[in-house]
């Protein structure tokens, strides 16, 4: 075996292909064939694409399957704490040994093909899933759809969660182009479940071209509240069968009901096509599973005084959802602090403008030793001059550079710069009052660093 430890395998994979993102199916398809694997599993496959909501839909599908007694495998990205989180069998991350053995098999098969980090992981997941012999497989697309490594596999049901502007360097700068890329996961004659209320015309066109049954939220399935004001339960109206008394998903945000509905309809479709056993009660599975769905980093509370939340929002659409949560959870008296760290290819202004009305004070942080990382200073300079309420009164382009790692108190806002998320947490906690709240967002990397910081902080406080 080339390496004995998972960390060594992952470090090597990061340098195997000079490009972090290298879209295209030729390399990964060739290695799939050389590894003796095929593009179809011996069980139903669900492929999930979308700008936002993919992780929530996959987590819900996985929870539904487990509650229904279905042996399920899932592949997601990125991870929060450990790489193993990406590849799960019956909800449990695979172990280091199994991963290393899968990496070795892919290494033997690839010859001199330079796979990317993501392609290597995708092939390893496929290899492990063939060996696990599950009854259902869920694959989350990494980026886009048409040219993403996951798309080498042929789905029985394709899922689109949402279509919004993100990754414009690879997918295009408008929803029609992005919709076309994401619709690349559709398969001829196979159903598509779409959780996007108003998908672009390119999605309809691809579905029609490939003769796919397109099930659309708001048209073919929808959500209703129960009549009782005392109940948080909801109703799913679906062309494949209605469900009542569904519990609120254990994921923060009213929009999570739409993600849950999307996942439920996917299982309904599979069952209607004879791909799931007819005696599986999807309604019972939903009532059991929705209250237990677990997914890190989605408006997740880490601390009470002051309140600290983390969220993986990193594009404008996700920022709108984050803003809705900030409004719903606002309290009287305290201020809201934001700690933000983002990657350089993101729409910084577009994201922050969507939440600016909910934030009183800001701290911009750098992401270190991460591809496409952005320093705090670079992030700050990406904002328009009129972003801050009083910026023009106290700051000009000439003195912006002087803010590095210092505090600038404005007429109505405080702006801090910190070289890393950990240091940002230190300084904001020292400034915030107990009745304030802190929201930390901008990237999966940002959430990971924040969660590690507060985990260590909680351990210290527990030991005192």
CATH code of 208's domain: 3.40.1190.10
pLDDT tens digits, one per residue of 427-454:
999 999 999 999 999 999 999 999 999 9
Phi, psi of 267 (to 5 degrees): -70, -35
Q: Is residue 251 part of a domain?
A: yes
Q: What value does the mean pLDDT of the chain take? A: 91
Distances from the Cα of 257 to the Cα of 91, 235, 377, angstroms: 21, 10, 38
Total domains present in the chain: 2
DSSP-derived letter for residue 217 is B
Of the residues 292, 311, 333, the one at which a domain ends: 292
Give the list of residues 6+ apart from residue 342 with CB closer than 8 angstroms, or none.
Answer: 314, 348, 351, 367, 374, 379, 442, 443, 446
How would residue 461 be classed by pLDDT, with cut points 50, 70 and 90? low
Of the residues 243, 262, 292, the one at which a domain ends: 292
Residues 234 and 377 in one domain: no
- In contact, 298 and 251? CB cutoff 8 Å: yes
Q: Is residue 373 part of a domain?
A: yes
Alpha-carbon torsion (275, 279, 284, 289), positive or negative: negative
pLDDT tens digits, one per residue of 278-311:
999 999 999 999 999 999 999 999 999 999 999 9
Of the residues 258, 292, 326, the one at which a domain ends: 292
- In contact, 142 and 153? CB cutoff 8 Å: no
Residues 237 and 307 in one domain: no
Q: For residue 108, what are its two tokens?
A: 């033997």
pLDDT at 330 over 90: no
Residues 185 and 83 in one domain: yes
- Structural domain range at position 361: 300-463
Report the range of poorest mean pLDDT among 172-181, 330-339, 389-398: 389-398
Residue that the structure tokens 């892919």 belong to: 106
Residues 172 and 304 in one domain: no
Residues 191 and 336 in one domain: no
pLDDT at res. 225: 86
Residues 287 and 337 in one domain: no
How would residue 139 be classed by pLDDT, with cut points 50, 70 and 90? very high
The string of DSSP codes covering 304-343 is: ETTEEEEE---SHHHHHHHHHHHHHT--SS--EEEEE--B
Residues 144 and 68 in one domain: yes
pLDDT at res. 413: 66
pTM: 0.92
């Amino acid at each position: 075996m080339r390496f004995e430890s998972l960390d060594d395998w992952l470090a090597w994979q990061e340098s195997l292909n000079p490009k972090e993102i290298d879209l295209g199916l030729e390399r990964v398809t060739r290695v799939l064939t050389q590894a003796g694997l095929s593009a179809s599993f011996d069980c139903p496959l669900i492929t999930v694409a979308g700008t936002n909501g993919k992780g929530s839909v996959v987590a819900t599908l996985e929870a539904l399957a487990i509650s229904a007694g279905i042996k399920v495998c899932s592949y997601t990205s990125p991870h929060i704490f450990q790489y193993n989180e990406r590849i799960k069998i019956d909800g449990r991350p695979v172990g280091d040994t199994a991963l290393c053995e899968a990496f070795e098999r892919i290494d033997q098969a690839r010859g001199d093909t330079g796979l990317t980090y993501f392609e290597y992981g995708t092939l390893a997941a496929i290899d492990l899933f063939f060996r696990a012999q599950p009854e259902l497989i869920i694959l989350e697309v990494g980026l886009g759809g048409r040219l993403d490594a996951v798309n080498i596999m042929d789905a029985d049901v394709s899922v689109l969660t949402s279509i919004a502007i993100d990754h414009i360097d690879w997918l295009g700068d408008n929803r029609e182009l992005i919709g076309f890329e994401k619709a690349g996961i559709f398969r001829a004659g196979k159903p598509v479940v779409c959780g996007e209320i108003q998908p672009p015309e390119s999605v309809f066109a691809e579905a029609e071209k490939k003769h796919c049954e397109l099930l659309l939220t708001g048209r073919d399935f929808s959500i209703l509240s129960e009549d009782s004001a005392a109940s948080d339960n909801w109703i799913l109206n679906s062309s494949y069968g209605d469900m009542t008394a569904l519990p609120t998903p254990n994921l923060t945000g009213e929009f999570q009901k739409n993600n849950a509905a999307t996942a439920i309809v996917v299982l309904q479709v599979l069952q209607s096509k004879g791909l799931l056993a007819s005696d599986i009660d999807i309604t019972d599975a939903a009532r059991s599973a929705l209250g237990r769905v677990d997914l890190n980093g989605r408006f997740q509370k880490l601390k009470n005084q002051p309140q600290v939340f983390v969220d993986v929002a990193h594009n404008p659409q996700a920022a709108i959802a984050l803003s809705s949560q900030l409004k719903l959870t606002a309290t009287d008296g305290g201020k809201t602090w934001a700690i933000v760290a983002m990657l350089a290819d993101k729409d910084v202004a577009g994201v922050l403008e969507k939440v600016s009305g909910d934030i009183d004070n800001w701290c911009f942080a750098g992401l270190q030793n991460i591809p496409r990382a952005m320093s705090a200073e670079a992030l700050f300079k990406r904002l328009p001059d009129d972003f801050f309420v009083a910026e023009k009164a106290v700051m000009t382009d000439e003195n912006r550079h002087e803010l590095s790692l210092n505090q600038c108190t404005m007429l109505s806002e405080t702006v801090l710069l910190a070289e890393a998320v950990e240091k940002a947490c230190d300084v904001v906690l020292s400034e915030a009052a107990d009745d304030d709240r802190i929201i930390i967002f901008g990237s999966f990397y940002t959430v990971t660093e924040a969660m590690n910081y507060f985990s260590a902080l909680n351990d210290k406080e527990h030991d005192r």
